[in-house]
Amino acid sequence: MTARILVVDDIPANVRLLEVRLLAEYFEVLTATNGPDAIETCENGKVDVVLLDVMMPDMDGFEVCRRLKSDPATSHIPVVMITALDQVSDRVRGLEAGADDFLTKPVNDLQLMTRVKSLVRLKSLTDELRLRASTTRNIGIEELLSRNFASEDTTPKVLLIDERKSSVERIQKMLRDRADLDVTHDPHAGFFQAAETSYECVMISTAFADFDPLRLCSQLRSLDRTRFVPIILLAEEGEEERIIRGLELGINDYLMRPIDQQELTARLRTQVRRKRYNDQLRASVTQTIEMAVTDGLTGLHNRRYLDSHLQTLFDRAVARRRPLSVMITDLDRFKAINDAHGHDGGDEVLREFARRLRKNVRGIDLACRFGGEEFVVVMPDTEGAVAEKVAERIRAEIAQAAFAIGQDGKAIEVTVSVGVSSVLKGVDTVAALMKRADLALYEAKSGGRNRVVAKAA
Binding site for Mg ion (CB under 5 A): 10, 53, 55
Min dist CB 19 to Mg ion, Å, is 15
Give the gyration radius of the chain's Cα atoms. Answer: 30
Measured from the CB atom, is 55 or 125 closer to Mg ion?
55
* CA–CA distance, 213 with 220 (Å, rounded to integer): 11
* CA–CA distance, 453 with 95 (Å, rounded to integer): 69
* CA–CA distance, 332 with 414 (Å, rounded to integer): 7
List, in sequence order, the alpha helices (H) in 320-383: 334-359
Measured from the CB atom, is 13 or 209 closer to Mg ion?
13
Min dist CB 30 to Mg ion, Å, is 18
Min dist CB 34 to Mg ion, Å, is 10
Where would I find the beta strands (DSSP E) of 164-259?
Answer: 180-184, 201-205, 231-235, 253-256
Whose CA is closest to 360, among 348, 371, 346, 375? Answer: 375
For residue 341, the one-letter residue type is: H
Among all residues, whose Cβ is closest to Mg ion? 55
Measured from the CB atom, is 10 or 263 closer to Mg ion?
10
For residue 154, the one-letter residue type is: T
Indicate the SS3 state at residue 105: coil
Measured from the CB atom, is 99 or 454 closer to Mg ion?
99
236, 373, 388, 413: the active-site residue? 373
Min dist CB 18 to Mg ion, Å, is 12
For residue 275, the one-letter residue type is: K
373 assigned to active site? yes
* CA–CA distance, 40 with 17 (Å, rounded to integer): 22
* CA–CA distance, 298 with 408 (Å, rounded to integer): 21
Measured from the CB atom, is 10 or 48 closer to Mg ion?
10
Q: Are 287 and 344 in contact (CB under 8 A)?
A: no
Min dist CB 84 to Mg ion, Å, is 7
Distances (CA, A) of 218 to 184, 212, 214, 221, 251: 18, 10, 6, 5, 9
Min dist CB 6 to Mg ion, Å, is 15
Backbone phi and psi for residue 234, each to the nearest 5 degrees, phi listed first: -105, 105
Catalytic residues: 373
